[in-house]
């Protein structure tokens, strides 16, 4: 779901498109131009059908964008940072940094998407009805009918109580309110998502066997996506539950070994990397400000012949793409940002000064210690615990 090209910003939120979205445009346009429209309105020319179909497909993408934009705006209003929106093969996704802090915020963020689609469906339906009352009954009205139906269907589908659908988020919010535990609620919603995904896959294969053709294949593809996404969400919820309440400062490796961005790769390798054997090095300028991040993986991309002339800043992960956190920030809010060119690393800043680094090995070690502490305190539990309940204030 990575962004292939940008559409700019709406209300300050970056909007991008993955190239796979062209597939869904082609599928919708082809199905309407050579299937639905000739069936409901015979006798028009191929160019008219195709023009109306492309217009409907583009309008549907705009509807998806409105759905995701509603999520993003409400999330931002509830204190959740929004990284951007990406449209792709199976719809769209609003990329949020961190999660809602209360079940009420979770409910509002999740619920506004289906509500937006439902409102759009009603508006398109009302426009189609008004056009018919005015005496119109051609392809433009057929486009409005299609947009009304597809938006209502989108709203209903997203309300299924199964993660990662919006209905799964609503289920999580309700369970969170009842149980008082966000992470166990997320696990329940994710399990419901897996069951729903497997049901879609089974239904898709049944349609393929009975000769329904492409519809069954598409349903199975959607089901596979739901299963994979729900499984990932359950894993994330389990990890987050074990790390709940733990601050970044309790996990980071400190002090961090920083490097000069103007040093050559060859000098750095022989004088620092091969001697200290760390895997992550924040780059700081002469004032001590963070300017980038170098990892061993990025250094490996430099050919041996170019190491003497290549500066660290030339191969570093640039500052805007480096995940940063404060020592007191909850670790669970940092975890979703550990991706991209930083190779799963984050830099910890205190007052603009580099004080530590968080790496996947730091997180893994903390999880292992949490399991050991849980087993030691509750031998019959078999592992897994909320790290915030560990002795001595929860620091492993």
Residues 6+ apart with CB under 8 A from 346: 248, 322, 323, 324, 325, 334, 337, 338, 357, 358
Neighbours of 348 (CB within 10 A): 25
Per DSSP (E only), the strands in 215-372 are: 280-284, 290-295, 317-318, 324-325, 346-350, 353-358
What is the largest distance, in Å, between two alpha-carbon atoms of the chain?
82
Residue 236 annotated as binding? no
Q: What is the DSSP letter of 136?
A: -
Q: How far apart are CA 347 and CA 325, in angstroms?
A: 7
Residue 67 annotated as binding? yes
Tokens of 180: 């008082």
Residue 270 annotated as binding? no
> Buried b vs exposed e over 359-384: b needs ≥16 C-beta within 10 Å?
beebbeebbeebbebbeeeeeeeeee
Q: How far apart are CA 254 and CA 349, in angstroms?
A: 11
Any idea which residue has 């166990």 for tokens?
A: 184
Q: What torsion, rounded to 10 degrees, do the Cα atoms 367, 371, 376, 382 define? A: 180
**Per annotation, catalytic residue among 3, 68, 106, 233:** 68
Q: Is there a catalytic annotation at residue 68?
A: yes
What is the 3-class SS of 138-187, one letter each residue? Answer: CHHHHHHHHHHHHHHHHHHHHCCCCCCCHHHHHHHHHHHHHHCCHHHHHH
Instruction: Report helix angle 166-179 to 182-209, nearest 10.
Output: 150
Point out the annotated binding site: 67, 71, 166
- Which residues are known to be catalytic? 68
> Residues annotated as binding site for Zn(2+)?
67, 71, 166
């Amino acid at each position: 779901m990575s962004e292939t090209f940008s559409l700019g910003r709406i209300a300050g939120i970056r909007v991008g498109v993955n190239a796979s979205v062209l597939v869904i445009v082609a599928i919708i346009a082809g199905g309407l131009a050579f299937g639905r429209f000739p069936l409901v309105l015979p006798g028009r020319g191929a160019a008219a059908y195709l023009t109306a179909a492309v217009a409907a497909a583009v309008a549907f993408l705009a509807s998806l964008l409105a759905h995701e934009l509603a999520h993003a705006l409400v999330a931002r209003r509830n204190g959740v940072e929004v990284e951007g929106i990406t449209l792709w093969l199976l719809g769209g996704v609003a990329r949020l940094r961190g999660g809602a802090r209360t079940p009420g915020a979770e409910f509002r963020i999740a619920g506004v998407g289906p509500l937006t689609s439902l409102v759009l469906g009603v508006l398109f339906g009302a426009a189609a009805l008004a056009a018919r009352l005015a005496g119109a009954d051609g392809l433009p009205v057929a486009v409005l009918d299609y947009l009304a139906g597809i938006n209502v269907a989108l709203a209903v589908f997203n309300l299924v109580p199964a993660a990662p659908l919006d209905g799964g988020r609503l289920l999580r919010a309700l369970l969170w309110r009842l149980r008082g535990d966000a992470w166990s609620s997320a696990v329940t919603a994710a399990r419901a998502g897996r069951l729903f995904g497997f049901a879609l896959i089974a239904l898709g294969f049944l349609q393929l066997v009975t000769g329904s053709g492409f519809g069954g294949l598409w349903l199975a593809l959607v089901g596979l996506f739901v299963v994979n996404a729900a499984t990932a969400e359950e894993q994330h919820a389990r990890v987050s539950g074990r790390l709940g309440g733990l601050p970044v400062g309790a996990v980071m490796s400190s002090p961090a070994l920083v490097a000069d961005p103007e040093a050559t790769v060859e000098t750095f390798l022989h004088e620092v990397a091969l001697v200290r054997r760390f895997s992550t090095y924040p780059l700081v300028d002469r004032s001590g400000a963070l300017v980038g991040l170098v990892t061993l993986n990025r250094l490996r991309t430099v050919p041996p012949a170019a190491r003497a002339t290549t500066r660290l800043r030339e191969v570093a992960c640039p500052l805007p793409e480096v995940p940063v956190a404060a020592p007191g920030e909850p670790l669970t809010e940092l975890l979703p940002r550990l991706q991209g060119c930083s190779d799963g690393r984050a830099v910890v800043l205190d007052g603009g000064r580099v004080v530590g680094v968080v790496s996947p090995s730091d997180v893994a070690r903390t999880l292992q210690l949490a399991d050991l502490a849980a087993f030691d305190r509750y031998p019959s539990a078999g592992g897994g615990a909320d790290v915030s309940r560990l002795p001595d204030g929860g620091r492993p």
